[in-house]
Amino acid sequence: MEEVELHKKIKKSINNEVAAFHFDSYYEGLYEPLGFSINLPSKRVRPILCILAAMLYSGSEEEAMDAALGIEYFHTFTLIHDDIMDDAEMRRGESTLYKKNGLNTAILSGDVLYTIALQKFESYDAATYKQIMVIFNEASKKVCEGQQKDMEFESAENIELSEYLKMIENKTAVLAAAALKIGAVIGKASESDQKLIYDLGINIGMTFQLMDDYLDSFGDELKFGKKIGGDIIQKKKTYLLLKSLESLESEQSSDLRRLIENETLSEKDKINKVKAYFTEAQADKALLSLADTYYKQGKEIFAQLQGNESIKNALNTFVSSLLNRNF
């Protein structure tokens, strides 16, 4: 039970720090929308990973907090821009920032949030700051690479599962990996553990994005906080779609392709019909099994990590809760 309480306790501290965000009211039009976004209910996965990684070695929650906040702010910035790219209506249970405040404000609020994220790293000593920036900037670049491919795949015809996996590694997994590695740097972990924990993060991140794809079709809107079926409407080449196209008989597979392109059906009908193909092809089961494979690979890496045993357990509990999530 103790482990559950630790990640919850950390989440509470993160939320308190985020709530303390204040801004110059003269620029309310810029800061108010993002202040609203960062305070909406969210899982805080990446900052929790960062703090737990620091605590696994010789770091504390307090020491890792600024880096954790920087990572969470960066993440929220990517969501603000992602919602523009994905034409998404709902985020964290509310209307998306660009729908509510307009495109230009969403672009600029995202930009300033990215800058605020970078400023959070400035509180570390020069050597640590340098290490953090090297890890962070590499991750940030890869997120853009992944996001670009995610968009290009919408209108591309034959995407291999391997290309999809590389795309989600870049858009999602690298940030989880960077969060853990930055935490490990702050905790002064050995070079070999920094590398191991990064690989652990990649596996966690792959599981996480696969589950996100799953929930986008099969989740509960109220819990998930995003519109169900958004990926289908956006013609996203998710694992569910690619696996279905691969597994179904060729005729059915062609029908599914046509259905995805169909612009005359109502959204609701289209989503339900596509989901029926996903289930028919057992792509949902295949997805859950692949998510579990990444989780198990992560567990193997986990076993090789040095560090405090009780924090290891806390990290393990937190990670397994992500695999079984419905939010």
120 binds, among Mg ion, ligand IPE, none (CB under 5 to 8 A by kind): none
Nearest residue (CB) to ligand IPE, 33 versus 307: 33
- 255 contacts 217 by C-beta, under 8 angstroms: no
- Please list, in sequence order, all residues whose beta carbon lies within 8 angstroms of the beta carbon of residue 97, skipping any fewer than 6 positions away: 33, 34, 36, 37, 80, 83, 91, 105, 106, 109
Nearest residue (CB) to ligand IPE, 40 versus 190: 40
User: Shortest approach of ligand IPE to residue 234 CB, angstroms?
Assistant: 8
Alpha-carbon torsion (305, 311, 312, 315), positive or negative? negative
Specify the long-range contacts of residues 131-137, CB closer than 8 Å, at least 24 apart: 131/185, 132/67, 132/182, 132/185, 132/186, 135/178, 135/181, 135/182, 135/185, 136/70, 136/71, 136/74, 136/178, 136/182
Query: Encoding tokens for residue 201?
Result: 């993060």
- 57 contacts 188 by C-beta, under 8 angstroms: yes
Nearest residue (CB) to ligand IPE, 76 versus 124: 76
Select the residue interacting with Mg ion from 111, 212, 255, 280 (CB under 5 A).
Answer: 212
Q: Is 154 in the site for Mg ion (CB under 5 A)?
A: no
194 binds, among ligand IPE, Mg ion, none (CB under 5 to 8 A by kind): none
Nearest residue (CB) to ligand IPE, 78 versus 244: 78
Choices 20-28, 81-89, 128-136, 251-259; region in contact with Mg ion by CB under 5 A:
81-89
User: Shortest approach of Mg ion to residue 9 CB, angstroms?
Assistant: 28
User: Shortest approach of Mg ion to residue 240 CB, angstroms?
Assistant: 11
Largest CA distance in the chain: 61
Select the residue interacting with Mg ion from 66, 72, 82, 284 (CB under 5 A).
Answer: 82
User: Shortest approach of ligand IPE to residue 127 CB, angstroms?
Assistant: 29
Residue written as token pair 């994220």: 117
Nearest residue (CB) to Mg ion, 88 versus 319: 88
User: Shortest approach of ligand IPE to residue 213 CB, angstroms?
Assistant: 7
Question: CA-CA distances (angstroms) from residue 227 to 104, 179, 222, 224?
Answer: 23, 27, 9, 8
169 binds, among ligand IPE, Mg ion, none (CB under 5 to 8 A by kind): none
Q: Is 90 helix (H, G, I), strand (E, B) or coil?
A: strand
Choices 47-55, 83-91, 152-160, 273-281; region in contact with Mg ion by CB under 5 A:
83-91
User: Shortest approach of ligand IPE to residue 80 CB, angstroms?
Assistant: 9
**How far is Cα 210 from Cα 294, in angstroms, rounded to an integer?**
10
Contact residues toward ligand IPE (CB under 6 A) are 42-43, 45, 78-79, 82, 86, 88, 92, 143, 147, 171-172, 209, 212, 216, 226
207 binds, among ligand IPE, Mg ion, none (CB under 5 to 8 A by kind): none
Nearest residue (CB) to ligand IPE, 248 versus 322: 322
Nearest residue (CB) to Mg ion, 225 versus 298: 225
User: Shortest approach of ligand IPE to residue 64 CB, angstroms?
Assistant: 18
Phi-psi region of 17 (alpha: psi -120 to 50; beta: other; left: phi over 0): alpha
Nearest residue (CB) to ligand IPE, 66 versus 216: 216
User: Would you state the torsion angle of the CA atoms of residues 12, 14, 20, 26, taken in this order, to the nearest 10 degrees?
Assistant: -130
Burial of 192: CB neighbours in 10 Å, binned 0-12, 13-18, 19+ = exposed
CA nearest to 238, candidates 320, 159, 132: 159
Contact residues: Mg ion, CB under 5 A: 82, 86, 212, 216
